[in-house]
Amino acid sequence: MSDDTTAPIAAAASRQVAVSVTVNGRRSDHTVAARTLLVHHIRDNLQLTGTHVGCDTSNCGACTVLLDGESVKSCTLLAVQADGGDITTVEGLSGPFDGFSAMQEGFRQCHGLQCGYCTPGMLMAATGLLEENGPDITEREIREGLEGNLCRCTGYEMIVRSVRWAAEHPEPDDS
Ligand code: FES
Ligand code: FES
């Protein structure tokens, strides 16, 4: 019977697991269902709703965060897979441009957003990309690096310019 074969899977998915993560510099400890996606943990348990859900099928990138310095789509990971990790969400971005990071300021200066729905994920993906490629990042590297982040409004041109702006305005090293 199919019920007999699916029951153990359902039981495993609803099992409670401990998840400890550091998010934007603050440690949090929770017990969640094993099936909880990282994006839902971030939004529902940590109340950080700047991380958006656009598709839930790993296509749009609206849910992108940095996990241990690398951009990841948080709808593609279980919360428990991030256990022990260091996460930065869009709420954790800040810097010397009136409190904004260079990437945020680039989007402001170059009109890299319209409705803003994709913007948190775009900012996090672009931040990870610039970290990885450095200030000499090329337009092609920007376009290829942001391929997994969809924007229905801007046509991408202003987003590419925004990332270039950030690359040309490196933030001074801090701690
Ligand atoms: Fe994660 Fe769309 S919500 S990729
Ligand atoms: Fe509207 Fe990108 S600014 S989806």
Name the residue of 118, 146, 149 whose CB sits within 8 Å of the most ligand 2 atoms, as the mutation to test its pocket. 118
Same domain assignment for residues 86 and 127: no
Q: Ligand 2: distance of its center to the CA of 114 in Å?
A: 5
Q: Is 164 a domain residue?
A: yes
Q: Ligand 2: distance of its center to the CA of 73 in Å?
A: 17
Whole-number Å distance between alpha carbons of 169 and 102: 6
Same domain assignment for residues 109 and 153: yes
Contact at 8 Å (CB) between 172 and 96?
yes
Whole-number Å distance between alpha carbons of 110 and 104: 10
Q: Is 55 a domain residue?
A: yes
Q: Is 173 a domain residue?
A: no
Q: Is 97 a domain residue?
A: no
Show the domain range for 81. Answer: 16-91
> Domain with 142 in it: what CATH number?
1.10.150.120
Q: Is 175 a domain residue?
A: no
Q: Determine the pLDDT at residue 142.
A: 98
Beta-carbon-side half-sphere exposure of residue 71 (alpha carbons within 13 Å): 25
Same domain assignment for residues 23 and 74: yes
Same domain assignment for residues 139 and 74: no
Q: Is 4 a domain residue?
A: no
Q: Ligand 1: distance of its center to the CA of 149 in Å?
A: 9
Same domain assignment for residues 24 and 86: yes
Q: What is the DSSP string of 67-93?
A: ETTEEEETTSSBGGGGTT-EEE-GGG-
HEC sequence for 15-36: CEEEEEEEECCEEEEEEEECCC
Give the model confidence (pLDDT) of 35-72 as tens digits: 999 999 999 999 999 999 999 799 999 999 999 999 99
DSSP E strand boundaries for 56-164: 64-67, 70-73, 86-88
Same domain assignment for residues 107 and 162: yes
Which position has the token pair 């550091």? 22
Same domain assignment for residues 21 and 86: yes
Whole-number Å distance between alpha carbons of 98 and 26: 23
Give the model confidence (pLDDT) of 6-41 as tens digits: 776 777 777 999 999 999 999 999 999 999 999 999
| Three-class secondary structure of residue 125 per DSSP | helix
Give the model confidence (pLDDT) of 78-98 as tens digits: 999 999 999 999 999 999 999
Of 161, 128, 35, 24, the C-alpha closest to 85 is 24
Domain count, the chain: 2
Ligand nearest to the CA of 122: 2
Nearest CA to ligand 2 atom 1: 115
Q: Which atom of ligand 2 is nearest to the CA of 122?
A: 2
Same domain assignment for residues 75 and 126: no
- Whole-prediction pTM: 0.92
> Domain with 45 in it: what CATH number?
3.10.20.30
Tell me the backbone φ, ψ of residue 174, rounded to 5 degrees. -130, -170
| Three-class secondary structure of residue 102 per DSSP | helix
